[in-house]
A and B are shown apart, each in its own frame.
Chain A
Amino acid sequence: MALKARHKRFVLIGIGLALIGLAAMLILNAFQSNMVFFYTPTQVAKGEVPKNTGFRIGGLVEVGSLKRGDDGLTINFVVTDTSKTVPVIYKGVLPDLFKEGKGVVAQGKIGADGLFVASEVLAKHDENYMPPEAAAALKSAQEQSKTLVMPTK
């Protein structure tokens, strides 16, 4: 009844490979379903964003747009990439470095009314540091405005 040594080795290797395959499937599947994409306010305005899944937006907090609810915790603000804007609502305590006119990244979903409901607001680390996504949004907006402006000249 006992298996030969060589067969045992095959069994071991077979089980090992099957398990590694399973793990790889698990990892790739988890990766696929948990990727969060980033969009600029211009892309949001064009309607290029997913309807039902969450994503990230980034840009500057428009100066003068920050409004607080009476509870002190419901916050409305507008994210701009200097060409288009997205209104955002967030309930919670803002990070230390959240300021009007500074870079911000928010993660959440967009409603049918075009209001971005943020589950998380990120603004971190130092006064001059711009979240990379926010910087990219501004840069691409500038590049687009250049391409739009150039032909008219």
Chain B
Amino acid sequence: MIPEIGHFSLILALLVSLVLGSFPIIGAARGNTVWMGLAKPLAGVQFVLIAFAFLCLVYAFAFMDYSVLYVANNSNSKLPLQFRIAAVWGGHEGSLLLWALILSIWTVAVSLFSKRIPDDMRARILGVMGLISVGFLLFMLMVSNPFERLIPAALDGRDLNPLLQDPGMIFHPPMLYMGYVGFSVAFAFSIAALLGGQLDAAWARWSRPWTILAWIFLTVGIMAGSNWAYYELGWGGWWFWDAVENASFMPWLVGTALIHSLAVTEKRGSFKAWTVLLAICAFSLSLLGTFLVRSGVLTSVHAFATDPRRGIFILAFLVVVIGGSLLLFAWRASTVGRGGKFDVVSRESFLLANNVLLAVAALSVLLGTLYPLFLDALNLGKISVGPPYFDAVFAPLMAPAIFLMGVGPIARWKEAALPELAKRLRWAFGISIATAVILPLMLGNFTPMIGLGLFLAFWVFATTAELVYQRLGKSDLPLMGRIKANSRSWWGMVIAHLGIAVFVLGVTIVKGFESEIAVKMLPGDVAHLAGYDFTFDGVVDRKGPNYEASHGQIHVTKNGVLRTILEPEKRLYTVTNMPMTEAGISPHLIHDLYASLGEPLDGGAWSVRIYHKPMVEWVWFGCLMMAFGGFLALADKRYRLKKRAPSKEITSKAVKSSKKAKA
């Protein structure tokens, strides 16, 4: 009965979203306040209905209802409860439901925290989000119903893919989806601006916190996924440039461009059309990413042959959303108006250059991800484009972007002077060049890539230090007062940029100085790597809730002193008969020691892989710093003016306060 109630609740949600997607938008066009006023309560009702349907599916998983096809395919009675619940989003249908749920959460959040937004703008924003919801609910109800019954019921489920049976599965997908779907808010703001023909500094100020919040979620989601791959796959890698990762990275690149472009739109009124275009692209790439990962098209482009309706629906949906919004953009972009003028050398043009570089980088990822699929779909042969392509493309695209990152925040808006910039940055430049040459020589390995990476990392450190020094050094206030004198969003930018530097430093060091060995080890054997001695103590059998494990132990010593004990595991998940590797990792600020079991060989020996990963944790720590910077920006006072004022007053205030806030 419960699954039917959930199904029915989804149908009701579709009806509600149809009304939400039509009446408020029409009302906004006609000035009908009653129709516009429908948006807010409808957003709430839609959320309740979808959340209820979601809980019904959770219930079916938690209480092992194997008469539901989706549950039978993705769960098993031996699966622990937390993974049974995470299994709700372990497959295609359930992840669509999670998508729809998160969309309804964002919609209701916008409806609650939009008191300052004019009625017609809010009605349009919520209406557009309602339309997106219509698309997803229709898709689910027509071709991907998670509540479909299996008659007769299965005795037990086929189990969740063992690769997904990990705490990472509980956090990573919801985080990522919060990011993906969060860009729908920026998208809806942009479409609303195009429809209303109104795009001013106030608009940018309203949409900025939403975009930053989505970007934070996406950043943390990608970071969690990378970390998960690092310890779960047993290959010591943290980024593989595979299509699933690329699908999340493309919206991140465009989203990063978007939050910077929005900053210019808010402060200077420029880049309006570009901001709108980026918002459309960020959300389109999120949609594309969702479908790429969850439709099975990656494992085989012919996956749709089993259910061609799904493929057709997805293509149609993408065409309507992307094509429709781009058409609207082409038609209405001129109405949003041109921004303030700026000089060739100015903060605006540095930001514009960075935006273009990020967009081009996203395009290059898109090419590498989609082109092999196209060839395959057209039966023109099978190719793969692996990490070498992305490595070759990314270094030359990101290097100038990161270089400009050091210059941009120091340059003046509108018109900057090159000689003055050069004067302010000469110390930073000297320090970072010196570090880039001396540090690798001290560490005993100099390659151009290591030099470039270190130069960029220290360039960002040094220029940011220069920036902070200039801002804090000029005042007589006590230190805390000087810190508080700058806005939280400015500090957010500082922290996020330092996060990039930490990230680049981590990537450079781990890529340049990591080492690994693969050896056959009998109990008692010792392997040597990076000055450490790894002694294999052997393997004992252990039993997990739904797997059998060979639990290995390796103790690590340096000069005879015990440093750490690694406990890698090889598991066999009995339901699916699938082996899995659990790496044994000793994480550390300076370096990770990492071991994973390969295969059992004769006589109690195992093949073992051992890795030394210097500063790899900095990669993820850098991402967390970026996210934290985002949170600081969100906490900025100017987003929390509670009182609702007439929009004209806000606009004039915004101009004043923006002049005050940043030079």
- Give me the interface of A with B, judged by CB distance under 8 Å: 5, 8, 11-12, 15-16, 19-20, 23-24, 26-27, 30-31, 33-38, 56, 68, 71-73, 92-94, 96-97, 125-127, 129, 132-133, 135-136
Contact = CB atoms under 8 A, between A and B. Distances in A.
A16 B356 contact: yes
15 contacts: A15-B344, A16-B353, A19-B353, A26-B397, A31-B367, A31-B371, A35-B384, A35-B389, A36-B384, A56-B382, A72-B601, A93-B607, A94-B598, A125-B299, A132-B376
Given A37-B381, A132-B299, A96 B360 contact: no
Interface in B287-311: 299-301
B444 interface: no
Contacts of A30: 389, 392-393
Interface string B143-156: 00000000000000
B609 interface: yes
A65 to B, nearest CB: 16
Given A92-B518, A93-B609, A127 B578 contact: yes
A129 B376 CA distance: 18
Given A5-B341, A72-B520, A93-B598, A31 B349 contact: no
B518 A12 contact: no
B318 interface: no
B397 A23 contact: yes
B559 interface: no
Contact of A34 (B392, B519, B577): B392
Contacts of A34: 385-386, 388-389, 392
Contacts of B299: 125, 129, 132
Nearest to A33: B392
B535 interface: no
A126 B161 contact: yes
Contacts of A129: 299
A23 B599 contact: no
Contact of A26 (B368, B371, B396): B396
Contact of B576 (A11, A26, A126, A136): A126
B605 interface: yes
B41 interface: no
B393 A38 contact: no
B632 interface: no
Contacts of A96: 234, 578-581
Given A73-B519, A129-B299, 6 more contacts: A12-B344, A12-B349, A30-B389, A31-B393, A34-B389, A34-B392
A31 B82 CA distance: 43
Given A23-B360, A34-B388, A71-B520, A8 B344 contact: yes
B363 to A, nearest CB: 8
Q: Is the interface of B mostly helix, strand, loop or mixed?
A: mixed
A134 to B, nearest CB: 11
Interface string B343-382: 1100001000100110010011001100100001000011
A65 B385 CA distance: 30
B106 to A, nearest CB: 31
B343 A20 contact: no
Contacts of A73: 518-520, 607
Contacts of B397: 23, 26
A128 to B, nearest CB: 9
B383 interface: yes
A91 to B, nearest CB: 8
Interface size class of B (residues with CB under 8 A): 35 or more
A92 B516 CA distance: 11
A50 B396 CA distance: 29
Nearest to A132: B300
- 3 closest A-B pairs by CB: A72-B520, A93-B598, A34-B389
Contacts of B389: 30-31, 34-35
A125 B577 CA distance: 12
B297 to A, nearest CB: 10
A40 to B, nearest CB: 10
A27 B519 CA distance: 38
A93 B385 contact: no
Contacts of B234: 96
A93 B519 CA distance: 9
Interface in B573-630: 576-581, 598-599, 601, 605, 607-609
Contacts of B577: 127
A96 B599 CA distance: 8
Contacts of B360: 20, 23-24, 27
A73 to B, nearest CB: 6
A36 B386 CA distance: 8
Contact of B578 (A24, A36, A126, A133): A126
Contact of B579 (A38, A93, A97, A135): A97
B382 to A, nearest CB: 4
A27 B349 contact: no
B163 interface: yes
A38 B576 contact: no
B581 A38 contact: no
Given A96-B580, A125-B163, A26 B393 contact: yes
Contacts of B607: 72-73, 93
A109 B343 CA distance: 53
B179 to A, nearest CB: 24
Contacts of A92: 518
Contacts of A5: 341
A84 to B, nearest CB: 17
A18 B523 CA distance: 61
A20 B352 CA distance: 13
Nearest to A5: B341
Contacts of A12: 344, 349
Contacts of B341: 5
B311 to A, nearest CB: 16
A93 B578 contact: no
Contacts of A35: 383-385, 389
Contacts of A93: 518, 598-599, 607-609
Contacts of B386: 34, 36
Contacts of B384: 35-36, 38, 56
B602 to A, nearest CB: 8
A24 to B, nearest CB: 8
Contacts of B382: 37-38, 56, 132-133, 136
A92 B235 CA distance: 12
Question: Which of A31, A68, A71 has the most chain B CB atoms inside 10 A of its CB?
Answer: A31
Contacts of A26: 393, 396-397
Contacts of B599: 93-94
A19 B382 CA distance: 32
Contact of A68 (B368, B579, B601): B601
Interface string B202-245: 00000000000000000000000000000000100000000000
B552 to A, nearest CB: 14
A37 B383 contact: yes
B228 to A, nearest CB: 15
